[in-house]
Amino acid sequence: MDARDAADTPVLSVRGLEKSFGGRPVLAGVDLDVASGESVVVIGRSGGGKSVLLKHLVGLVKPDKGTVHVLGQDVTAWTRPQWSGLRGRIGMVFQGAALFDSLTVGENVAMGIRVRQRLAPAEEMALAKQRLAQVGLVDVEHLKPASLSGGMKKRVALARAVATDPEVLLYDEPTTGLDPVMADVINRLIRSLQQQFGLTSVVVTHDMTSAYFVGDRIAYLHQGRVHATGTPEEIRRSEDPIVRAFVEGRSQGLAVTH
Amino acid sequence: MAEETRRSLLDRTLLEELPGEEIITEGARTGLAWVGRQILTFFEDTGKVGILFLRAIGATLSAGTYRRQILDQMSAIGVGSMPLVGIVALFTGAVAAVQAAYQLEGVVPLRYLGAVIERSVLIELGPVLTALVVGGRVGASIAAEIGTMRVTEQVDALEVLSVDPIKYLVMPRLVAALVMLPVIVVFANAIAIFGGFVVATFSFDQSPHTYVQALKQFFHLKDLTSGLCKSGFFGILIALMGCHYGLASEGGAEGVGLATTRAVVASCVLVLVSDYVLANLLFRVTF
């Protein structure tokens, strides 16, 4: 495989992905490719399977049908030991931040570093502080997550996700539940991380402001399939009635089932 | 007459293919389905617990890496349970003294009171009552903590950071419970025997010497060791139930509440059932 082929191979590739929970199909044949360094935003209604799609990319959910390729490897039927090697190259920011509430902020950020690299505790903490500074947080490493605001928790989650220098970063609704100013801070952080480190990222959101701002490309997930993809500009100008209804936030013309 | 009706109904069913619904009522149908589901769930749960246990055993190879977690859990399960266990043990011993004195009256001389309390505490009351108390306290807190971590995606976050939740969460709790339950039981035994002593001396005017003499005369090491073996086993059961139901919880606060209840109920039932099995193994088969 020469360099050009390698560049053409998508970092993340999903083909015909199907998944049901309790007999209810959530994903019904999703096809999605993400190129190296690209930032793809997946938009869609709540409960439409966006988070489920994201979890397939890091092995938290196994597909019923279809294939998943991550960083050039077919991970469709991978088990936990196989994943442990690849997971250091993927970071994920969870919807509710998912900080370990029994640990301090510093220990949260250091958790991934501890598993990956053998460092002295002081070095670990120094690296964690550096990561926290990157997301604009100073002198918080001794606090417990419970004493942080929503925006700070999201930023700590971001620092924890990038602590191991991943190549791929997955975001599950990074701006949900934040005020518009904090949402903008997070959006700018996501953008700057992409540009600084050339990260490949997938952002799941239903916040259109965020989607237009952080996405190179937007994919609209509708009824378990990718209904439309395009640049933010193309999505904004889309004539498709279903896409229009979503981006303009109208309930008329859409079957509201969940 | 009734027999004829039944026969003709059977014939009609077989010959004329009368729809089954007319014989098996809707209620019976749902009832059967419910029973079937419960049986399936039981076997599914048993299988899952078995797999979880085997994986936790495998994870003990990493015990060195997670020693801080193990020590934290030992403190939470062991030291944290002591006040409650102490009160329960003190009154268990006291009640045992009162009841034994009542039952022995006219049959066995009261000077053997210490022996009766000692043997019943070491073999049965100490390990089982401690396990039930710890099962309620620790089983619930393990299930609630891991359940909350599950529904807030902290368990998923561990996975993504390449930290195996079995090594980080399950194994330390199992090891801590296995080690600490016997330790708590030793204290509980001592406190219970002391509770009996207080009642014997102050309520039955027995001399301390008589009580202690009976303790010494009827002490069998096997009573103590078999009780401690049982309590180690109970410790594993309690931690395993807490971890299993915690990891299996879903759907927010309600799911965590349900997991907590189930963990406590399952550990208490299993403690009592396995106590019977262990009693047979330890006192009828092995010795």
Can you tell me the ipTM of this complex? 0.89
> B161–A111: do the CB atoms touch at under 8 Å?
yes
Q: How many CB atoms are located within 10 Å of the residue B81 CB?
A: 22
pLDDT of residue B284: 80
Q: H or E stretch including B115? A: helix B113-120
- State the maximum Cα–Cα separation within chain A, in Å, rounded to a whole number: 59
Q: How many CB contacts within 8 angstroms connect chain A with chain B?
A: 51
B22 touches chain A (CB under 8 A): no
Mean pLDDT for chain B overall: 90
| A135 neighbors A66 (Cβ within 8 angstroms) | no
pLDDT of residue B136: 93
> B163–A111: do the CB atoms touch at under 8 Å?
yes
pLDDT of residue A120: 82
> At residue A258, does pLDDT exceed 60?
no
| A227 neighbors A242 (Cβ within 8 angstroms) | yes
Cα angle value A76/A81/A82 (rounded, 5°): 40
Alpha-carbon span B142 to A30, nearest angstrom: 38
Amino acid identity of B253? A
pLDDT of residue A4: 43
**Shortest CA gap A241–chain B (Å):** 34
Alpha-carbon span A46 to A28, nearest angstrom: 16
pTM here is 0.85
- When CB atoms are compared, the residue of B149, B154, B163 closest to A115 is B163
Place of tokens 């604009």: A136
| A100 neighbors A111 (Cβ within 8 angstroms) | yes
pLDDT of residue B7: 58
Percent of chain A topping pLDDT 90: 52
The strand order across the sheet containing A73-74 reads A24-34, A12-21, A65-70, A73-74
At A75-84, the pLDDT tens digits run 998 988 888 8
At A129-185, the pLDDT tens digits run 999 998 889 999 899 999 999 889 999 999 999 988 899 999 999 998 888 998 999
B163 touches chain A (CB under 8 A): yes
- When CB atoms are compared, the residue of B145, B153, B162 closest to A87 is B162
Rounded to 10°, the helix A150-162/A180-197 angle is: 10
pLDDT of residue A231: 93
DSSP string, A184-217: HHHHHHHHHHHHHH--EEEEEES-HHHHHHH-SE
Higher pLDDT, A9 or A125: A125
> At residue A3, does pLDDT exceed 50?
no
At B196-228, the pLDDT tens digits run 999 999 999 899 999 999 999 999 999 999 999
> At residue B165, does pLDDT exceed 50?
yes
Confidence of residue B148 (pLDDT cuts 50, 70, 90): very high
DSSP string, B25-69: -HHHHHHHHHHHHHHHHHHHHHHHHHHHHHHHHHHGGGTTTTHHH
**Mean pLDDT to the nearest integer, B157-163:** 92
pLDDT of residue A256: 54
Cα angle value B63/B68/B71 (rounded, 5°): 90
| A230 neighbors A219 (Cβ within 8 angstroms) | no
B157 touches chain A (CB under 8 A): yes
- When CB atoms are compared, the residue of A87, A96, A102 closest to B160 is A87
B38 touches chain A (CB under 8 A): no
Alpha-carbon span A120 to A110, nearest angstrom: 11
> At residue B64, does pLDDT exceed 60?
yes
pLDDT of residue B24: 66
B contact test, residue of A70, A75, A78, A115 with most B CBs within 10 A: A115
- When CB atoms are compared, the residue of B145, B159, B163 closest to A60 is B159
A243 CB contacts (<8 Å, ≥6 apart)? Answer: A220, A227, A228, A235
Alpha-carbon span B268 to B136, nearest angstrom: 8
> At residue B121, does pLDDT exceed 60?
yes
Chain A positions touching B164 (Cβ under 8 A) are 80, 84
Token pair in block for residue A5: 């082929």
B254 CB contacts (<8 Å, ≥6 apart)? Answer: none
Confidence of residue A1 (pLDDT cuts 50, 70, 90): very low
Alpha-carbon span B239 to B177, nearest angstrom: 6
At B67-115, the pLDDT tens digits run 999 999 999 999 999 999 999 999 999 999 999 999 988 888 888 999 9
> B162–A58: do the CB atoms touch at under 8 Å?
no
Alpha-carbon span B153 to B158, nearest angstrom: 9
At A179-214, the pLDDT tens digits run 899 899 999 999 988 888 889 999 999 889 999 999
**Shortest CA gap A77–chain B (Å):** 17
| B89 neighbors B130 (Cβ within 8 angstroms) | yes
Chain A positions touching B142 (Cβ under 8 A) are none
Alpha-carbon span A89 to B202, nearest angstrom: 70
Most confident of A7-16, A239-248, B158-167: B158-167
Rounded to 10°, the helix A105-116/A150-162 angle is: 10
| A148 neighbors A105 (Cβ within 8 angstroms) | yes
A219 CB contacts (<8 Å, ≥6 apart)? Answer: A32, A40, A41, A42, A43, A226, A228, A229
Token pair in block for residue A206: 């239903």
Alpha-carbon span B86 to B137, nearest angstrom: 14
